[in-house]
Structure 1
Amino acid sequence: MKLPNPEQALIPFEKLEGYSLNPNHSEGRHKAIVFQSALGIGLEEAEELRAALRQALKAEEAIPTQYNIYGQKYQIDFEMTRESKSAIIRSIWMVRQNEDFPRLITCYIP
């Protein structure tokens, strides 16, 4: 299944630049190290990753994972190639109750 309204997806600054790509974040730094090593993506390339996430929302199938009081979570895995490097990126999204667009929860290279 495809997630609704991918063009309206929220990909907050704090999820990418503040966490997943931030080498100084106490928990996110591990993800940042892997993004840098696997794809050469750091804070400076956040917009490139954001664009890849938006493209994956449109192109890839979403797998429902967990439903909680906030809404339904989904997983979208996609391959990203950059500078002759390639990796699978796992992204977790939520469509909140009473909303019809996805929000990025996290992304990482498994």
Structure 2
Amino acid sequence: MSPSLKSLLVPVCLFASIGAMAKTLDQVPGKLTESDLLQAPFVQLFDLSVDPHEDQNLARKYSARVKQMVALLKEEIASERSTPGPNLKNDKNVRILNPRDRRLPGFVRNRFE
């Protein structure tokens, strides 16, 4: 793993565009779970020091790193903090991805179990 990739904090991106989302969904048969969308091929990971145009998705190659980053994001959501300090209380049910979110295109929502 390149040194710069080791130091990346949270460059996790769920889909770069609607087109990328549709193309990826076409490659995966059947119904999906929320956890399916938190790993490759749905999550994107790039080493911007060598790939500034985001042409090579490294999420599958560095799946352990993706899991670590998603776990960190979940921890920050649970504690309501990304900075040091006491835990805060969420006033809403915050999720990385809500399959029932009406902002997701219908073709995505329809693929969930």
TM-score normalised over the length of structure 1: 0.28
TM-score normalised over the length of structure 2: 0.27
